[in-house]
Structure 1
Amino acid sequence: MKQINKQSTIALLVLLVMVVMGYTSCKKENEGAGGMPVISKVRVISKTDTIKDVDHRIDLDSNLVYDETRVVSFDSTVVAGRLNNQYAIIGENLMTTLSVSFNGVKVNFNPALLTDHSIIISIPEEVPYGAGQSDKLMVTTKFGTASFDFPILQPPATITSFSPVAAGAGEIVTLTGTIFEGVTAVNFDDTPAEIVGIPTKTQIQVKVPAGIVQAYIFVTTPGGTSRSAGSFGFRAVLYDDQFANGWGSYFGYNSTRDYANTQQVKRGTYAIKTVFTDSWGALQIGYNGATIDATKLTAVKLSIYGGPGTTGQAVQLLLNGNYGNAVRLELKEGEYTDFTVPLSALGSPSTITEFVLQSLGVPVSTTIYVDDIGFI
């Protein structure tokens, strides 16, 4: 009986040792080999890339062509990172990683993708970049911290808008956007523009160079050169503080027009104040012999300020008396709205002889202000 108990005790001890060894083995397998972490390199898995001249459909008859930023697959060792790109940190003893940071900001990582030799991360937008940063990638594990030189590059600037949409030589244009830090140049197509004052991260003011009628705006920063989605100015001007040559006889019906109005001016000195005296009144410019060749034009651009009570109201734009191809334009009370209407939506005229903004049943005495009318 004593012999049996002794054998049972030995068997129990052997079993316990095996369990402990198995647990230790699993623990080592789960935690890697242990030891101080080492970062040997960083590889990019996907990156943002600018695709040039992408065709963006507006409707069945019109489109805009401009650059587009997309995330694309990529695999290469890199010495610097960019926001919104995905990377693999390559090294040793990484299985027990507790945190990853760039320039002092911790970033998320997926533990399910963690191995003893790699960590998969994405660099979010809140990570600081550029001059004045530590330029350090830090990985902390259960066994220590590894540091690796890895600067975060400034992303390309984004131009979201510019105002005014048209201006003469020497006038000030304000560019609004993001990531304008360190701007070194602003060009209207290939023509340099003078930067005025001190730019901010979101705004740059420049003087319009001489000779610019129509151009894309380019901003150059340490992140590269970016282009505005839309173009500045007009290829043909109809009204720009004054009417173009030959369009000096002004007409309208069931409305009053003030061409020397200085209220609610979007740019310059004047805007056309129009008061509709019945529900189908109109601002009508043309029928005086002037013409604009539209064979190389694509759209009409204009800006309309809605007077009191105009929210939810609308006018219709038409050319050359073509009421069958009129386009509805929604008004906004107390602010200007910029409109770009494809000529294809207005009947695709080859020659412009008349421009009309007609009320669409708005109440009598409704007031609008119209500025910067032209064609691109």
Structure 2
Amino acid sequence: MKQTNNLIKYLLSAVLLVIGFSSCKKDSNGQLEGSKGTPTISSVRTISKSVVDSSKTETYTTIASNGTSSSTTVSNYNPQISAFDSTTTTGKLGNYYAAMGDHLGSATKVMINNVSIPFNRALNSDNSVIFNIPSSIPYVQPQPNTLTIVTLYGTVTYSFTTLPPAPSISAASDYNFTSGTKITLKGTGFSAVTAIKLRASNEAVTIVTKADTQLVVTMPKSTATRSTLLFTYTSGSSTVQTASGQEFVNIDLAYSIFTNGQYQNNWTNNSWANPSGATPTAPSISGQGSFVATYPAGGWQIEGFANYSGGFKYDASYKYLTFWVKGGTVDHTLVLVGDQMAGGDAQVQNANAYAAQLIKVPAKVWTYFKIPLTTSQSSTNVNQLNYWAKGNTATTLRFFLMGQSGDVNETYYFDEVMFVK
């Protein structure tokens, strides 16, 4: 953030040097006072822009206690401020612009689409006003599409369109799908979306209803195991595409333990406490019931699944363990355990578990977990789950809740528990 602020200062300083203050003077209070004429705007220039360049990557290296290191490379989805200088009639949220003209030095108000925006009068000259487009500016059409500057000596209005932001997902009703699944997306920039596809397979996603902050879609039958969404949207006179930062998982091509309200692939209930297990009437993401796990107060219980009819054999092509879980009365941390994991299918206390085993579950809400699996059985990367560390066939997957002073009875709900390629 400090680097961004410094860059903005440098950009503004450079623009002001070019624009100059030659036609301004100071009033008795030391403030800029423009020439006494009707203000005009001849053009608007972009002086900085916020850009997301996903081709840029960042690499994180994790070093285990035994000295073994592993690296993970991720795409950059964080906006970066960069210099830019061009004449434009459109603007984007977050970017800086200079309105160029005459008699602008005494500006008292700047408005976009009739909404006032803050600006720094110290950056004005009689020939320019520097402004930023805040996120509060309305952009969903129809709009006046105007930039208005009010000075001590008049008002000028200029044709200027605020473009919609790229579609961005902040939350989804589900990150898993089968053919025909309806998913509600929350976020911004959806009003300009004209089409959606699964990026991995180019299969069309159907738009059911659309508003700027909510989009309801129907997912297709797909050949992709998992995929981001590829949005096509209009931005001014251009048609643009952008991918979601979130992946969506095809249940039909996953290895399921519990989906559609039922045990899958010979898995069944293997919990210590009762009542636990598949419950058709329990709250769920799928709408078909969930796996209920009950934890008596202070009980140090292990709840979850077992498959003693062949188990789940090691397959390096599986990349993630995913599931939804709804928390209990207070926040808790569960520990993932299994017969072939380090520590075994046992009461592994929080302090003895590694990072990928620790499942921090907020109270009373559904939370989606997508846990990366290790690339080999010998891996010691603590941020990846080594599900087959001790052997090739795993027969249990369970969740341990360590008892604490003052505990109360807790009930958790699990849904769409899967291993994903």
Same structural fold, with TM-score higher than 0.5 when normalized by the shorter chain? yes
Q: Could you tell me whether the CA contact under 8 Å between 1:170 and 1:207 is conserved in 2?
A: yes
One-letter code of the match for 2:402? G
In structure 2, which of residues 308, 332, 335 is the aligned counterpart of residue 316 of structure 1? 335
**Normalising by the residue count of structure 1, what TM-score does the alignment of the two structures yield?**
0.80
Q: Deviations over 1:322-362 (max 9, x none)?
A: 13466122334433222122224322748663442232334
Q: Tell me whether 1:372 sits opposite 2:416 in the alignment.
A: yes
Match of 1:38 among 40, 43, 61: 40
CA distance in 1, matches of 2:39, 2:335: 68
Q: Please say if 1:110 is aligned against 2:124.
A: no
Taking the aligned partners of 1:110 and 1:333, their CA distance within structure 2 comes to 44
3-state secondary structure, aligned to 1:181: helix
Structure 2 residue identity aligned to 1:330? K
Moved more, 365-374 or 110-119: 365-374
Matched residue SS, 2:177: coil
Aligned to 2:214: 203
Q: Which runs of 5+ in 2 are unaligned?
A: 1-24, 63-69, 344-352, 375-383
Task: Find the partner of 2:399 among 348, 358, 367.
Answer: 358
Indicate which of 211, 215, 222 corresponds to 2:227.
215
Residues in 2 aligned to 1:30 and 1:367: alpha-carbon distance in whole angstroms: 65
Where does residue 236 of structure 1 map in the other structure?
Answer: 254
With over 3 angstroms needed to count, the CA separation of the structure-2 counterparts of 1:26 and 1:227, relative to structure 1, is closer
Which residue does the alignment assign to 2:368? 338
Is the CA contact (8 Å cut-off) linking 1:163 and 1:174 kept in structure 2? yes
Equivalent of 1:302 in 323, 330, 333: 323
TM-score (norm 2): 0.73
Whole-angstrom CA distance in 2 between matches of 1:27 and 1:76: 32
- Partner Cα distance (2:57, 2:414) in 1: 31
2:98 maps to 1:88: yes
Identical aligned residues as a percent: 24
User: Where does structure 1 lack aligned partners over 5 or more consecutive residues?
Assistant: 1-24
Kindly provide the amino acid, as one letter, of the partner of residue 372 in structure 2.
P
CA distance in 2, matches of 1:30, 1:163: 53
Deviation at 1:365, TM superposition (A): 6.6
- Contact 2:314/2:388, CA 8 A, preserved across alignment: no
What is aligned with 1:148? 158
Distance 1:361 1:85 in 2: 49
> Which of 303, 307, 325 in structure 2 is aligned with 1:282?
303
Deviates more, 1:55-64 or 1:365-374: 55-64
Larger Rg: 1
Asked whether the equivalents of residues 325 and 414 of structure 2 are also in contact (C-alpha less than 8 Å), the reply is yes
| 1:270-315 superposed Cα distances (whole Å, 9 cap, x missing partner) | 32223357523332333432435542333211112234x4x23332
- Could you say if the C-alpha distance between residues 281 and 81 of structure 1 is closer, same or farther in structure 2, counting changes exceeding 3 Å? closer
What's the CA shift for 1:30?
5.9
What number of residue pairs does the alignment pair up? 347
Q: Secondary structure at the match of 1:281?
A: strand
